[in-house]
Amino acid sequence: MGIIPKRLKKSGPLVQWGIFFGSMVGLAAVVNHLTEEQQYVPGPYGERKTLTFSSPPFGGQDLTHQREFDFDKFRRMFTRLESYKNASEGSKKYIDRALLNYRWGYTFPTADSLMEILSVVIGTTLNNRAFEQINEAIELLYGLALVWPLQKAE
């Protein structure tokens, strides 16, 4: 018994190719749905898809002079840094939340302010008290604390 049923083998090539391409379209739709970014309600700064820095954030890498990044590209580059890979799980969790807060317009007014906090957090082992202290500092500096969980859009 093969992969193709007997009825399908007896049908013409147009039907076989139609079923094949239909299956591929269905598979692509499922993959797209599963990898779709979660949507949240935008915060006071509004939804942001790019980060623009006053100076290049990745000094020693290939993109030395680049100051503007697509959000997903920045996140990918940041999470590939050795310092991120070596960071504690608490720090990684905080960084991921801070990035989402920036992306959806909560907490950080500029990309530079986000990078300042990420630079501090990446070298810190975060426990609950440290998390609260950083949040208090962010609230004092920017007027808004890190928001979590973000409100999901319907």
Residues 126 and 93 in one domain: yes
Q: What pLDDT band is residue 1 in, cutting at 50, 70 and 90?
A: very low
CA dist., res. 90 & res. 92, Å (int): 5
Q: What pLDDT band is residue 8 in, cutting at 50, 70 and 90?
A: low
Q: Residue 41: inside a domain, yes or no?
A: no
Residues 56 and 115 in one domain: yes
Question: What share of the chain has pLDDT > 90, as a percent?
Answer: 33
Question: What share of the chain has pLDDT > 70, as a percent?
Answer: 84
Q: Residue 40: inside a domain, yes or no?
A: no
User: Which alpha helices (DSSP H) does the chain contain, by range?
Assistant: 6-10, 13-35, 71-79, 82-85, 89-103, 111-122, 128-142
Residues 67 and 93 in one domain: yes
Q: Residue 25: inside a domain, yes or no?
A: yes
CA dist., res. 9 & res. 63, Å (int): 54
Residues 6+ apart with CB under 8 A from 153: 39, 40, 41
Residues 10 and 59 in one domain: no
Q: 23 lies in which domain range?
A: 6-35
For 15-61, the pLDDT digits (tens) are 777 777 777 777 766 665 555 567 899 999 999 999 999 988 877 55
Q: What pLDDT band is residue 63 in, cutting at 50, 70 and 90?
A: low
Residues 63 and 138 in one domain: yes
CA dist., res. 134 & res. 97, Å (int): 13
Residues 131 and 61 in one domain: yes
Whether 128 has a pLDDT exceeding 80, the answer reads: no
Q: Residue 44: inside a domain, yes or no?
A: no
Asked whether the whole model's pTM tops 0.85, one would answer no
